Amino acid sequence: MAEWTTAPPDNDQRAPYRVIRTNHMKPLRGVILSQHLVGIMLHYWKGRSKPCEGNECEACQAGQKPRWKGYFQVHNADNQTVYIVEITERVWHEFNEEDRKNGTLRGARIELQRTNRKANGPLAARFLAGRTAESELGKEVAIVPILERMWEITGQVGPAEDAKGTEGEPNHLKMQA
């Protein structure tokens, strides 16, 4: 039964960080707080993003192909806020190269922008010179549980064996049957 209250419960399960996509009007600049990207195959289905469920996937059965999306935590330099940022497969190679070169993404300075100024336009990524020292970085949080709560799939996605994948290839999180 629904119940009116004057305050949220102490165990409020809302995501502590907003998940954002790069704005089409203004580039996103910041410092990456995550060690590595995490990624998953998604559909845009019935008005929202939804992880692909493999053989039992309603979106796949309707003929819609899933797309890979990657996620990382960033401290936004413009407004001093921490977000989880979504990227597309198109810019994965830049992230992978930065990760391979330094062994981590943490501390890297990034600029993301839409190349054609459309809300769903192609994404471009540019790593800026210099890295932020570990002593100056905020805490990294586990973003997979936040994404799982957002998609209401807690416990349904298997862990990535290696966040960087094998031999430079992206490692996708798998829906468990």
For residues 69 and 88, give the distance between their C-alpha atoms in angstroms, rounded to a whole number: 5
* Cβ atoms 126, 115 nearer than 8 A: no
In 3D, which of 85, 106, 89, 97 has the Cα closest to residue 28? 85
β-pair type (81-88, 19-20):
parallel
**Phi/psi at 33 (5° precision):** -100, -20
What's the pLDDT score for residue 159?
53
Mean pLDDT score, 44-67 = 91
Averaged pLDDT for residues 38-63:
91
pLDDT tens sequence across 72-114 = 999 987 888 999 999 999 999 999 999 999 999 999 999 999 9
CA 96, 99, 102, 108 torsion-angle sign: positive
* 107-118 tens-digit pLDDT: 999 999 999 988
Structure tokens at 44: 């845009």
- Which pLDDT value is given to residue 17? 80
- 167 — pLDDT class (breaks 50, 70, 90): very low
Q: What does the pLDDT look like over 9-30, one tens digit per residue?
A: 666 555 578 888 888 888 999 9
Tell me what pLDDT residue 32 has: 97
Average confidence score pLDDT of the chain: 83
